[in-house]
Amino acid sequence: MHTSTLEWNGRRIAWSRAGKGPPVVFVHGTPFSARVWSPYAAELSRTHTVFAWDLPGYGESSKDPAHAVDFTVHARALAALLEHWGVERPHVVAHDFGGGVALRTHLVEEVPYASLLLVDAVVVPPSGSAFFRLVADHPDVLGRLPAPMHRAVVEAYVAGAVHHPLTAEQRDALVAPWTGESGQAAFYRQIAGYDEGLLAENERRLGALGVPTRVLWGAEDAWMPLPLGRRLHGLLDAAAPGGAGWRVIEGAGHLVQYDAPVALMSELRDWLATC
């Protein structure tokens, strides 16, 4: 998938498009990038027009320290991208913080979707690992770590997102955007920018949810344990038209894309076939 860019409010947003058919938009979470969705986007491009993008402050998108990186900014960025692409009522597939972004785009920016599939999604409070909370409290201190120590921290952090060990190639691809002076600063800045109050607003607005919704969850998610997924499903089931679907993916941690690719691809196809 060829990468293009959108200049938006002083930011550069990297995005890609492939295929032809009903539109599907992938939204990644933290500390990841559109890369985690690449194989799925490539496969679905056989039957759909697929879009993937790096949230501002992530991946190949700009990482200006003067720019906020929070759910509000990212929701507005998604709304701007959809307008730029000329896409109406897409199927949206969102992971981790991408779930909060996708839901806020629908509930606050009032962007209609054809469907919403949430994968181990951070949508309502509470959220965040112990490490995440530590970084949020001390971003400046950790941002001054020597580069090799910082890399070791990021490697250990992303390793906790999977139930099965990452390959060296997978690990390096996840870590690469957060290396170098600007990448290191951006890694801690995006965590410090987390505002759980915006997730609380998502929860208060769930009554306006007007889209078919399903929740997928890795049974072995150590970052967002299964009870949090069940709580989220309960809230969405009460709000979504016709209730919300719920599937548990066995043997998968938080980063289901790497732990259970066959099962996740099957779930994606099943969901899109029913919407």
Domains contained in the chain, number: 1
Of the candidates 78, 91, 82, 96, the one whose C-alpha atom is nearest the C-alpha of residue 268 is 91
Question: Residue 108 is part of a domain; what is its CATH number?
Answer: 3.40.50.1820
pLDDT band at residue 136 under the 50/70/90 scheme: confident
Cα 102 to Cα 109, 185, 187, distances in angstroms: 10, 25, 21
Residue 183: inside a domain: no
The boundaries of the domain holding residue 121 are 3-125+196-274
Torsion of CA 148, 257, 41, 96, to 10 degrees: -80
Residue 144: inside a domain: no
Q: What is the pLDDT of residue 3?
A: 87
Average pLDDT, the chain: 95
- For the chain, percent of residues with pLDDT exceeding 90: 88
Residue 139: inside a domain: no
Give the span between the Cα atoms of 53 and 13, in whole angstroms.
7
Predicted confidence (pLDDT) at residue 140 exceeds the cutoff of 90: no
Q: What is the pLDDT of residue 138?
A: 79
Where would I find the H helices in the chain?
Answer: 38-44, 71-85, 97-107, 130-137, 139-142, 147-159, 168-175, 180-192, 196-204, 226-239, 256-259, 261-274
Of the candidates 222, 199, 74, 63, the one whose C-alpha atom is nearest the C-alpha of residue 125 is 199
Q: Is 255 helix (H, G, I), strand (E, B) or coil?
A: coil
- Count the alpha carbons within 13 Å of 206 in the hemisphere toward its beta carbon: 20
Is-contact 147 184, C-beta < 8 A?
yes
Of the candidates 104, 144, 96, 98, the one whose C-alpha atom is nearest the C-alpha of residue 121 is 96
Q: What is the pLDDT of residue 126?
A: 81
Cα 147 to Cα 49, 81, 110, 185, 193, distances in angstroms: 40, 34, 42, 11, 22
Which residues does 83 contact at the CB level (< 8 Å), separation at least 6?
A: none
Placement of tokens 């700009």 in the chain:
62
Predicted confidence (pLDDT) at residue 257 exceeds the cutoff of 90: yes
Predicted confidence (pLDDT) at residue 133 exceeds the cutoff of 90: no
Residue 259: inside a domain: yes
Q: What value does the mean pLDDT take over residues 112-128? A: 93
Nearest 5 degrees, angle CA 76-CA 81-CA 87? 120
- Which residues are bridge partners to 214 per DSSP? 117, 245
Residue 172: inside a domain: no
Identify residue 50 by its one-letter amino acid code.
V
Count of Cβ atoms closer than 10 Å to residue 9 Cβ: 11
Q: What value does the mean pLDDT take over residues 90-99? A: 98
Q: What value does the mean pLDDT take over residues 6-23? A: 98
Q: What value does the mean pLDDT take over residues 219-233? A: 96
Q: Is 115 helix (H, G, I), strand (E, B) or coil?
A: strand
- Write down the pTM of the prediction: 0.96
* DSSP structural state of residue 220: T
Residue 142: inside a domain: no
Lowest model confidence (mean pLDDT) among 1-10, 130-139, 206-215 = 130-139
pLDDT band at residue 160 under the 50/70/90 scheme: very high
Identify residue 193 by its one-letter amino acid code.
G
Residue 171: inside a domain: no
pLDDT digits (tens, 9 = 90+) for 26-57: 999 999 999 999 999 999 999 999 999 999 99
Residue 51: inside a domain: yes
Predicted confidence (pLDDT) at residue 142 exceeds the cutoff of 90: no
More confident residue, 2 or 56: 56
pLDDT digits (tens, 9 = 90+) for 179-201: 999 999 999 998 888 888 889 99
- R_g of the chain, CA atoms, integer Å: 17
